[in-house]
Structure 1
Amino acid sequence: MKRREFIKWSGLIAGSSLISAYELQAQEPLSEDNPQAKALGYVEQSEAAARHCTNCLQATGDLSAEWVGCKIFPGKLVKGAGWCKVWSPRPA
């Protein structure tokens, strides 16, 4: 590998690592009192056993974790056992 290629790839790898670290730090648990959460009926404990955030199409990240990412609430983590009105089943 040439020196220029090495420097280019090193910069790209370092930059992507910083972005990933920022995304992880930027996420905080979503509160049921959040205005958007209230509007979408978000609760931390789903009443329907088969409908919860970890099996929703909008969920992201490690779906076996207690808190997961959500496309509907960017920058926030939702409780895996939670639910909201946007819930949609993940394809099998």
Structure 2
Amino acid sequence: MLGAGTHNDLGLTEPLETEPRCFHTRPFLVMDGNRFTGALTATINDPRLRGLPPVGAIDQFVDSTDVTRFSDRRRRYITGPGLGTPQLEQ
């Protein structure tokens, strides 16, 4: 697929499989983007950057319709233990 091929062409990580795969047991083909995120994150050498929490939409980190559907649950997840705003020292 285009995104996977582009990722490999950039040479930022070891080449990753570019063929889509089934989404769990469902008949939907996906790229499983976590593989790319993991490979890229593994190349970060700065300990301050490696220590930062992931950034993105909640549905990238939570696979629960109960959490994503109800705003009070989303807020509890986002502000839960260990998920405070990190501060980079200058």
Same fold (TM > 0.5): no
Q: Which has the higher helix share?
A: 2
| More contact order relative to length (CA 8 Å, sep ≥ 6) | 1
Q: Which has the higher strand share?
A: 1
Please indicate the TM-score interval, normalised by the length of the shorter structure.
Answer: under 0.3
